[in-house]
């Protein structure tokens, strides 16, 4: 038995190169969650028939127990698929007596051990032209008799009815290997895979399913296609499917049932895979296209399962939140940083900050990845999941969403005032790399320590200089910083001594958190594919220990005692309005370091000492941009791990009030910093508290904040 007749399909599509979508969707309007009355279902069905939309099969799915009701209300003949009661011996008497109903399909879910061959014989007798599709337990699927198709359930009204991508992929793979046609049922509400916060599952997309069958036909893994949530990738895949692959795939995937016959068409139009003009009767094939619009210009479908959404709707969604105080906060819908928090007596878990509240993500989104004590599990899901989750959270918290009242009722119980929570390290740091990317900082230090020579070393303008730090001493904001001990020179010509540092300093930096890893030997690709977000970093530095030890191998104990990061990681997507072209570079760097996109960032840092502002370093003036840092640190094949952290090095501007370290502000202690209370500082003293904050442009002239990184100096441990 075959699925679609390939000869008929090829004739129907004529000049159309991709027949993937023809006669794909059965009308399941009588079934949940729509559950239309029979009269309404028939009225809609007749309207769809008159419109002649080619994506629809124009086949009405009807439970066998409602055939009498169907016949009583018919005003013209219909094509139908009949759904039998799930039993080993369903009643087929009604099938043989039908008039004005062309029974094309019979579908049934059977219990374990059912005699499928006997049922197939009964169906042939009652409805000779109908094809039988059976849903059986997984262990019995491979034993379906010839001439019987399979049926797969892709979801339902409870979370347990949704198969995993691996189970669904195994089903598709087996069908492709055996040549078994199949039908899909339930749960395929939209084209693209997306999270459903109500059920706490990821809903399969019908486009994912269809393209996964194409992959299996070509001998590739269907699971990776089922997992995709990036619309552009799916659209590009659909456009490159060969006609022979499309025909073979549709022989296997006969159709799927949808309770809504409008949404599948709207989704495919929004993705640019079919024409936007509705076809007239008799010209159905004109609606299917393989080149209507480019993926780059196709509007995005909604991730919240509520239809398609264009960019104007997305812009409207983020303009206002129902969370009290969020709209006036630099932590509004355009920001939404991620962190890890706990309540007294409870385990740490992942949340998103919105205004002065934390959204507890695990119960809000019904996703256990957020019940973990770090972001690493979520980060490992990759860029598509990051983006889809962000849009979903924005919609759930938006006062402008059409379903805002229902969202608020569901989500508000999971909002916790920030003052009630304890914050924890947001990530499990993998490797830590610190760079030296500020031209002003490098020049200032060169002039201090090489006053008679060239301030920059010969390599500095050719590559972003960096070193590997100590990830085990990266601490969350608020962690006290113990003054380090180490070897230092007490004065010229004197031997080194062991003791507490007397030149303890700060370095105001911007850090970048890696989500998507790479394999050993594989340089990193696109920056935004690997880097999830940013955080403020204070790379505490003992200048006296550092100056004695760093020649010839670089920083060691003068840097490794502590590095503070913020408790909240700001997603890269929140910084889209802060992106600027990088600073001009001379000489032009080697090809692997050439900038492909503008990843300069218009972020202004602020350094406070004991609550008093002392500097506002400008990140946008950095010489080397973060995409160049990533390219350089992986060009040799060094792998990335989820949770890796790399930092910019000290951010400094040209004026003293814009420098990001005390060694520059005080010119190595020769020009003491005067504080408003009359005190002075050259370097940090015990009890001093340093706080880094930062702001960046948001949409429509708004401002978003990067969370603070703060630490207080504690006396050195006794020897």
CATH code, domain carrying 403: 2.30.30.230
Whether 674 maps to a domain, the answer reads yes
| Interval 191-221: pLDDT, tens | 999 888 777 788 999 999 999 999 999 999 9
Distance CA(444)–CA(293), nearest Å, equals: 52
The pair of structure tokens assigned to 157 is 């009204």
Q: Which residue has the higher pLDDT, 119 or 572?
A: 572
Task: Tell me the backbone φ, ψ of residue 26, rounded to 5 degrees.
Answer: -80, 150
CATH code, domain carrying 69: 3.20.20
- 331 annotated ligand-binding residue: no
| Interval 337-384: pLDDT, tens | 999 999 999 999 999 999 999 999 999 988 889 999 999 999 998 888
What is the model's pLDDT at position 296?
A: 25
Last residue within a domain, chosen from 406, 424, 442: 424
> 341, 358 in Cβ contact below 8 A?
yes
Q: Are residues 101 and 147 in the same domain?
A: yes
What residues contact residue 556 under an 8 Å CB cut-off, 6+ apart?
549, 550
Give the alpha-carbon dihedral of 660, 471, 389, 364, to 10 degrees: -110
Whether 282 maps to a domain, the answer reads yes
Q: Are residues 258 and 345 in the same domain?
A: no
Whether 295 maps to a domain, the answer reads no
- 450 annotated ligand-binding residue: yes
- 434 annotated ligand-binding residue: yes
E-state strands within 100-172: 101-109, 131-135, 149-153
CATH code, domain carrying 613: 3.90.850.10
Distance CA(434)–CA(404), nearest Å, equals: 43
Assess whether pLDDT exceeds 70 at residue 266: yes
Q: 45, 194, 357, 441: which is the annotated catalytic residue? A: 441
Q: Which residue has the higher pLDDT, 462 or 490?
A: 462
Q: Are residues 268 and 332 in the same domain?
A: no
- 563 annotated ligand-binding residue: yes
Last residue within a domain, chosen from 395, 424, 453: 424
What is the model's pLDDT at position 14?
A: 31
| Interval 398-409: pLDDT, tens | 999 888 898 899
DSSP 415: E
What is the model's pLDDT at position 88?
A: 54
Whether 503 maps to a domain, the answer reads yes
Segment 619-640 shows an average pLDDT of 97
| Interval 153-186: pLDDT, tens | 999 888 889 999 999 999 999 999 988 999 999 9
Segment 222-238 shows an average pLDDT of 90
Say if residue 75 is exposed, middle or buried (CB neighbours under 10 Å; 0-12, 13-18, 19+): exposed
Closest of 562, 567, 427, 583 to residue 507, by C-alpha: 562
Whether 365 maps to a domain, the answer reads yes
- Looking at the structure of the chain, the number of domains it has is 3
Assess whether pLDDT exceeds 50 at residue 1: no
Side-chain-side CA neighbours of 640 within 13 Å: the count stands at 31
What is the model's pLDDT at position 142?
A: 66
Q: Are residues 553 and 627 in the same domain?
A: yes
What residues contact residue 453 under an 8 Å CB cut-off, 6+ apart?
446
| Interval 493-539: pLDDT, tens | 899 999 999 999 999 999 999 999 998 988 888 899 999 999 999 99
H/E element holding 712?
Answer: strand 703-714
The pair of structure tokens assigned to 330 is 């630099």
Whether 306 maps to a domain, the answer reads no
Closest of 445, 466, 377, 478 to residue 646, by C-alpha: 466
Assess whether pLDDT exceeds 90 at residue 322: yes
Q: Are residues 54 and 93 in the same domain?
A: yes
Q: Are residues 126 and 269 in the same domain?
A: yes
| Interval 274-316: pLDDT, tens | 874 444 333 333 334 433 222 222 223 333 333 333 344 556 6
Distance CA(275)–CA(317), nearest Å, equals: 27
What is the model's pLDDT at position 89?
A: 67
- 507 annotated ligand-binding residue: yes
What is the model's pLDDT at position 618?
A: 98
Q: Are residues 418 and 534 in the same domain?
A: no
Look at strands 497-500 and 485-488 and give their pairing: antiparallel
Q: Are residues 165 and 265 in the same domain?
A: yes
Q: Are residues 417 and 481 in the same domain?
A: no
Terminal Cα-to-Cα distance of the chain (whole angstroms): 84
In this structure, the number of other CB atoms found within 10 A of the CB of residue 299 comes to 18
Segment 542-548 shows an average pLDDT of 95
Catalytic residue list contains 441: yes
Distance CA(238)–CA(272), nearest Å, equals: 11
Closest of 113, 147, 110 to residue 130, by C-alpha: 147
Q: How sure is the predictor about 438, in pLDDT bands with cuts at 50, 70 and 90?
A: very high
Provide the 3-class DSSP secondary structure of residue 136: coil
Packing angle of the helix pair 165-178, 206-217 (nearest 10 deg): 40
Closest of 440, 461, 438 to residue 585, by C-alpha: 461
Q: How sure is the predictor about 540, in pLDDT bands with cuts at 50, 70 and 90?
A: very high
What is the model's pLDDT at position 94?
A: 67
Side-chain-side CA neighbours of 692 within 13 Å: the count stands at 33
Side-chain-side CA neighbours of 701 within 13 Å: the count stands at 0
Q: Are residues 411 and 441 in the same domain?
A: no
Q: How many helices (H) and strands (E) would you count in the chain? A: 21, 36
Q: Are residues 563 and 653 in the same domain?
A: yes
H/E element holding 583?
Answer: none
Assess whether pLDDT exceeds 70 at residue 269: yes
Question: How long is the chain?
Answer: 719
Assess whether pLDDT exceeds 90 at residue 474: yes
What proportion of the chain, given as a percentage, has pLDDT over 70? 90
| Interval 578-599: pLDDT, tens | 999 999 999 999 999 999 899 9
What residues contact residue 132 under an 8 Å CB cut-off, 6+ apart?
105, 106, 107, 108, 119, 120, 123, 147, 148, 149
E-state strands within 316-405: 338-342, 349-354, 357-360
- 402 annotated ligand-binding residue: no
CA–CA–CA angle 119, 122, 125 (5° rounding): 155
| Interval 56-104: pLDDT, tens | 999 999 998 899 899 899 999 999 999 998 765 667 776 766 778 889 9
Last residue within a domain, chosen from 424, 448, 481: 424
Closest of 53, 57, 59, 61 to residue 28, by C-alpha: 61
Whether 293 maps to a domain, the answer reads no
Look at strands 78-83 and 56-63 and give their pairing: parallel
What proportion of the chain, given as a percentage, has pLDDT over 90? 66
| Interval 659-685: pLDDT, tens | 999 999 999 999 999 999 999 999 999
Packing angle of the helix pair 231-240, 206-217 (nearest 10 deg): 40
Distance CA(241)–CA(220), nearest Å, equals: 13
What residues contact residue 435 under an 8 Å CB cut-off, 6+ apart?
464, 465, 466, 624, 629, 646, 647, 648, 649
Peptide bond into 587 cis (omega under 30): yes
> 439, 617 in Cβ contact below 8 A?
no
- 559 annotated ligand-binding residue: yes
What residues contact residue 236 under an 8 Å CB cut-off, 6+ apart?
295
- 183 annotated ligand-binding residue: no
DSSP string, 491-557: STT---EEEE-S-EE--EEEEEEE-S---TT-----HHHHEEEEEEEE--EEHHHHHHH-TTT--ST
Whether 298 maps to a domain, the answer reads no
Q: Are residues 418 and 444 in the same domain?
A: no
> 219, 170 in Cβ contact below 8 A?
no
- 644 annotated ligand-binding residue: no
What residues contact residue 141 under an 8 Å CB cut-off, 6+ apart?
150, 171, 174
Q: Which domain holds residue 603?
A: 432-714
Side-chain-side CA neighbours of 620 within 13 Å: the count stands at 16
Mean pLDDT of the chain: 88
The pair of structure tokens assigned to 176 is 């492709």
Distance of CA 250 to the CA centre of its chain: 30
| Interval 351-360: pLDDT, tens | 999 999 999 9
């Amino acid at each position: 038995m075959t699925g679609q007749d390939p000869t008929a399909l090829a004739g129907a599509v004529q000049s159309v190169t991709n027949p993937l979508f023809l006669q794909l969707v059965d009308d399941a309007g009588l079934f949940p969650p729509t559950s239309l009355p029979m009269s309404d279902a028939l009225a809609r069905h007749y309207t769809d028939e008159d419109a002649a939309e080619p994506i629809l099969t124009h086949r009405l799915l009807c439970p066998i127990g409602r055939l009498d009701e169907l016949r009583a209300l018919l005003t013209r003949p219909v094509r139908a698929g009949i759904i039998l009661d799930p039993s080993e011996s369903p009643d087929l008497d009604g099938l043989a007596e039908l008039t004005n109903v062309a029974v094309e399909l019979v579908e049934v879910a059977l219990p374990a051990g059912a005699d499928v061959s006997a049922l197939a014989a009964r169906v042939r007798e009652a409805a000779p032209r109908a094809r039988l599709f059976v849903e059986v337990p997984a262990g019995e699927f491979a034993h379906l008799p010839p001439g019987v198709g399979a049926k797969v359930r892709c979801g339902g009204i409870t979370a347990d009815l949704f198969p995993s991508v691996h189970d669904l992929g195994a089903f598709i793979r087996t069908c492709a290997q055996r040549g078994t046609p199949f039908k899909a049922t339930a749960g395929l509400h939209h084209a693209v895979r997306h999270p459903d916060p109500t059920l706490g599952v990821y809903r399969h997309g019908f486009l994912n399913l269809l393209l996964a069958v194409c992959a299996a036909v070509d001998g590739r893994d269907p699971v990776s296609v089922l997992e995709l949530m990036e619309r552009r990738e799916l659209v590009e895949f659909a456009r490159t499917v060969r006609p022979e692959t499309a025909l073979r795939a549709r022989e296997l995937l006969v159709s799927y049932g949808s309770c809504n016959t409008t949404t599948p068409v709207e989704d495919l139009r929004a993705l640019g895979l079919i024409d936007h003009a509705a076809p007239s009767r008799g010209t159905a094939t004109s609606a299917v296209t393989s080149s209507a619009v480019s993926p780059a210009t196709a509007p995005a479908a909604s991730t919240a399962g509520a239809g398609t959404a264009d960019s104007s709707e997305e812009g409207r969604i983020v303009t206002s939140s129902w969370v009290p105080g969020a709209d006036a906060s630099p932590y509004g819908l355009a920001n939404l940083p991620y962190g890890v928090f706990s309540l007294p007596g409870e385990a740490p878990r992942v949340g998103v900050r919105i205004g002065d509240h934390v959204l507890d993500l695990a119960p809000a989104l019904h996703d256990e990845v957020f019940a973990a004590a770090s972001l690493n599990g979520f980060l490992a899901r990759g860029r598509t999941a990051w983006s889809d989750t962000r849009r979903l959270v924005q919609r759930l918290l938006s006062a402008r969403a059409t379903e805002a009242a229902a969202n608020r009722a569901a989500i508000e119980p999971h909002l916790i005032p920030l003052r009630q929570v304890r914050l924890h390290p947001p990530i499990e740091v993998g490797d830590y790399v610190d760079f030296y990317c500020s031209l002003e900082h490098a020049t200032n230090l060169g002039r201090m320590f090489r006053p008679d020579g060239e301030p920059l070393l010969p390599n500095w303008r050719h590559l972003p200089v960096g070193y590997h730090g100590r990830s085990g001493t990266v601490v969350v904001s608020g962690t006290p910083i113990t003054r380090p001990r180490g070897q230092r020179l007490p004065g010229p010509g004197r031997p080194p001594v062991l003791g507490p540092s007397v030149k303890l300093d700060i370095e105001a930096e911007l850090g970048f958190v890696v989500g998507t890893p790479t394999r050993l030997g594989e340089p990193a690709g696109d920056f935004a594919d690997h880097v999830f977000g940013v955080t403020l970093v204070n790379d505490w530095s003992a200048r006296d220990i550092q100056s004695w030890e760093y020649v010839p191998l670089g920083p060691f104990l003068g840097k490794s005692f502590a590095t503070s990061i913020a408790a909240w990681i700001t997603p890269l997507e929140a910084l889209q309005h802060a992106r600027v072209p990088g600073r001009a570079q001379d000489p032009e760097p080697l090809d692997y370091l050439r900038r492909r996109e503008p990843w300069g960032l218009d972020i202004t840092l602020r350094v406070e000492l004991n609550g008093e502002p002392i500097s506002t370093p400008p990140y946008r003036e950095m010489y080397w941009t973060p995409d160049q840092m990533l390219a350089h640190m992986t060009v040799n094949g060094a792998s990335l791990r989820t949770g890796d952290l790399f930092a910019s090095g000290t951010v400094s501007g040209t004026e003293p009030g814009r420098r990001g370290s005390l060694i520059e502000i005080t010119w190595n202690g020769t020009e003491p910093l005067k504080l408003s209370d009359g005190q002075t500082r050259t370097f940090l003293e015990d009890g001093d508290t340093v706080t880094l904050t930062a702001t960046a442009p948001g949409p429509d002239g708004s401002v978003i904040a990067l969370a603070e990184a703060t630490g207080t100096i504690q006396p050195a441990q006794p020897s």
